[in-house]
Amino acid sequence: MSDYKSILSASCPMPKLDFEIITMGHGSGGLLTHKLLDAGVFDVLSNEYLDKQHDGAVFDVTPGKMAFTTDSYVVSPIFFPGGNIGELAINGTVNDLCMCGAKAAFISLSFIIEEGLRVSDFWEILLHIKQAADHAGVKIVTGDTKVVERGKGDKIFINTSGVGKVHPEAAISVDRIKTGDKVIISNDIARHGIAIMSVREGLEFESDIESDTCHFNHIVEQLLEGFGNGIHFLRDATRGGLSTILNEVSQSLSKGIAIHQKDITVDESVAGACELLGLDPLYVANEGVFVAFVEASIADQVVQKLKSWENGLHAAVIGEVADQHPGQVVLHSQIGGRRVVNMLVGEQLPRIC
């Protein structure tokens, strides 16, 4: 597992502490808590809001709409090819705000640590949190740390909440989607889920597949600048993958969605791993891919814009909204067949044959 960390801590060594693992005492609020927070969290994440070390953050707002979101991160293993739980916790919450048409600005950060976590692992996570926040241009302004007994958690859980200002031109809402709208995907799919799977106990296989985790804070702002209310709806294709969010949309709209297999890119090694594991990439989780429903007339330009982004190389129009087959997503297969792409029932489980 250590292969996937050590990049950051090499350049930013951990402060010398007189403990190697986190114990119940570190969540007690007493001296140990202060040692951990002062030498770790506050130093690394320092900014004018957090430095006040108050119970909450106080900041100015300008007139207009704000978006507010929260999410919890429980990924296992906590370090995986291409990322870790800390990076995910920042990017995920930033992206949820982006999907509301907002630019993420302030984030809260809460740890629930299982007793026994190595301080060096915590340090590594913290550095990645800092790096991800800097990349996205957001500030971590408040937070909390609790420690639970061994067996009551799974190394570390992170909750982040975030606020951001909604772009004045944004009008993103599922009820703005109409027949004829184009469905755009921002990149190739299924990398995150397969990266995680490749390091799960019992399923390990060698691959160079990395998680696609990234933030959308700048690209979504650019899309809204350029296309305003021509962007009808945005959604990140995280848990349950592409098919799940398309199903959610088509069911809530009572319209059909047709998608074309040939336009959806799946990296060759990811496709190979999916074959091997008996998984359908349409249902595999992503952490750096979103779907946009846009006015048909601007679809090609939106794709061009996405392609200019470092995480949008495989952006494409993959389908359209139709009056036919309401509430259903129909996939036109590469060989000319059609099938309904259903909502996932429970967790996607690998098949025998």
Partner 1 sequence: MKYLSEYRNPELVKKYLDEIHQSCTKPWMIMEVCGGQTHSIVKNGLLQLLPKEITMVHGPGCPVCVTPMHLIDKAVYLALKEKVILCSFGDMLRVPGSTDSLLEAKSKGADVRILYSPLEAVKLAKDNPDKQVVFFAVGFETTAPANALSVLHAHREGLENYSILASHVLVPPAIDAVMNDDLVKIQGFLAAGHVCTIMGIGEYGPLVEKYQVPIVVTGFEPVDILHGILMVVKQLEKSEHKLENQYARVVRPEGNPEARKVIEEVFEITDREWRGVGNIPLSGYQVKEQYAAFDANKKFSIKMPKVEENPECIAGQVLKGIKKPHECPQFGKGCTPERPLGAPMVSSEGACAAYYHFSKISGQLTEA
Where along the sequence are the contacts to partner 1 (CB under 8 A)?
Answer: 201-203, 256, 268, 271-272, 275, 277-278, 280, 324-326, 328, 330-340, 342, 345-346, 349-353
Pair of tokens at residue 52: 């006040």
DSSP 19-87: -SB--GGGGSSSHHHHHHIIIIIIHHH--TTGGG--SS------SS-EEEEEEEE--SSSEETTEEHHH
CB of 162 to partner 1, least distance (A): 31
CB of 280 to partner 1, least distance (A): 8
* CB nearer to partner 1: pick between 206 and 268: 268
CB of 257 to partner 1, least distance (A): 13
- The b-or-e profile of 128-161 (16+ CB within 10 A means b, else e) is bbbbbbebbebbbbbbebebeeeeebebbbbbbb
* CB nearer to partner 1: pick between 1 and 349: 349
Q: How far lies 8's CA from each of 84, 128, 200, 217, 288, in Å?
A: 12, 7, 23, 23, 21
* CB nearer to partner 1: pick between 145 and 328: 328
CB of 264 to partner 1, least distance (A): 14
CB of 243 to partner 1, least distance (A): 12
CA dihedral 283, 83, 187, 286 (to 10 degrees): 20
**Nearest-angstrom CA–CA distance, 149 and 35:** 19
* CB nearer to partner 1: pick between 27 and 256: 256
CB of 335 to partner 1, least distance (A): 4
* CB nearer to partner 1: pick between 193 and 288: 193
* CB nearer to partner 1: pick between 140 and 277: 277
Q: How far lies 291's CA from each of 3, 176, 245, in Å?
A: 32, 15, 9
CB of 252 to partner 1, least distance (A): 17
* CB nearer to partner 1: pick between 93 and 198: 198
Neighbours of 13 (CB within 10 A): 8
Pair of tokens at residue 277: 């594991």
Stated length of the chain = 353
